[in-house]
Amino acid sequence: MTRHIGAAVAAACLTLLLAPGVQAADGSPAAAGNPYERGPAPTEASVEALRGSYAVAETSVSSLAVSGFGGGTIYYPTSTSDGTFGAVVISPGFTAYQSSIAWLGPRLASQGFVVFTIDTLTTLDQPDSRGRQLLSALDYLTQRSSVRGRVDANRLGVMGHSMGGGGTLEAAKSRPSLKAAVPLTAWNTDKTWPEITTPTLVIGADGDTIAPVATHSEPFYESLPASLDKAYLELNGATHFTPNSSNTTIAKYSLSWLKRFIDDDTRYEQFLCPLPRPGLTIDEYRGTCPLGS
Ligand code: 9J3
Ligand code: ZN
């Protein structure tokens, strides 16, 4: 009897070890239970790096070929051996173009996301419109784009700068199925976001005089439900336009948030909890730890 149980257990273990589905594409043992992890175990250096482990290609999407937003550029991992990837669409701010947030495209895609930086229909579009455009772009990405087969349509997120950050909040409010939202020095006349159920990382800048944190990012963060996975990162020595250039602090925490909530990748929780302490680049950090509980 004991021997039979032992043999059964041994057989089950062998099956588990040999089952193709439990081995990651890089040959490492798959993390028990998370089929969405992509890329190697993260380190402080890897989340701060200019590029992750994936080679990235890009394809431009003409405004003439789409509706509901203004076209853009899709950055995607070239690998087809790691299954599909989660995706994030990013909107620029008032009067700005995709070029203003382009640095985030290859930076995030090389870590294992399909990233779509968009133009808006007009550069004067307001946050509510930008929110709808983010969602139109997600629908285009997952349903009609040339890379749709590389995207997991069930694991999507939104980001944006300024009025695009305001649009990020609008998009999350209207589509609760979104897995992550990261507004960057967001601007919106609506100061209260209790309707949002998507895990949200609000990033503000201490020196922002266009969307001052006291009247934008801070009330946005504080009005999110207390029960929500949420965080507030206030950049130190930063302005409204800090998100328009390559920035290690923005990249590190945005990446960790997207990984944690789009990929369910708890390997990245180490960068989010316990709460990061203020320092050279962080003026203040608020959040709810542990995450995902
Ligand atoms: O997208 C933004 O930079 C919004 C800040 C702004 O110019 O608001 C004034 C109407
Ligand atoms: Zn509101």
pLDDT digits (tens, 9 = 90+) for 69-90: 999 999 999 999 999 999 999 9
Q: Which ligand neighbours the alpha carbon of 169 most closely?
A: 2
Q: Which ligand neighbours the alpha carbon of 164 most closely?
A: 1
pLDDT digits (tens, 9 = 90+) for 15-71: 333 344 444 454 455 546 899 999 999 999 999 999 999 999 999 999 999 999 999
Regarding whether 58 and 170 lie in a shared domain, the answer is yes
Instruction: Please state, in angstroms and rounded to a whole number, the distance separating the CA atoms of residues 190 and 127.
Output: 10
Atom number of ligand 1 nearest to Cα 93? 1
pLDDT of residue 7: 40
Looking at the DSSP bridge assignments, the partners of residue 166 are none
Q: Give the CATH number of the domain where residue 201 resides.
A: 3.40.50.1820
E strand or H helix at 257: helix 248-262
**163 touches ligand 1 (CB under 6 Å):** yes
- Centre of ligand 1 to C-alpha 241, Å, is 11
Regarding whether 28 and 76 lie in a shared domain, the answer is no
Instruction: Please state, in angstroms and rounded to a whole number, the distance separating the CA atoms of residues 65 and 113.
Output: 23
Does residue 293 form part of some domain? no
Atom number of ligand 1 nearest to Cα 161? 1
Domain of residue 77 covers 42-287
Nearest one of 258, 260, 265 to 36, comparing CA atoms: 265
On whether the pTM is more than 0.85, the answer is yes
- Centre of ligand 1 to C-alpha 86, Å, is 29
Neighbour-count burial of 206, counting CB atoms closer than 10 A to its CB (0-12 exposed, 13-18 middle, 19+ buried): middle
CA 125 to chain CA mean position, Å: 23
Regarding whether 26 and 108 lie in a shared domain, the answer is no
Instruction: Kindly provide the b/e burial profile for residues 158-197, where b requires at least 16 CB atoms within 10 angstroms of the residue's own CB.
Output: bbbbbbbbbbbbbbbbebeebbbbbbbbbbbeeeebeebb
* The total number of structural domains that make up the chain: 2
Does residue 152 form part of some domain? yes
Pocket mutation for ligand 1, best pick of 168, 187, 213 (most atoms within 8 Å of C-beta): 187
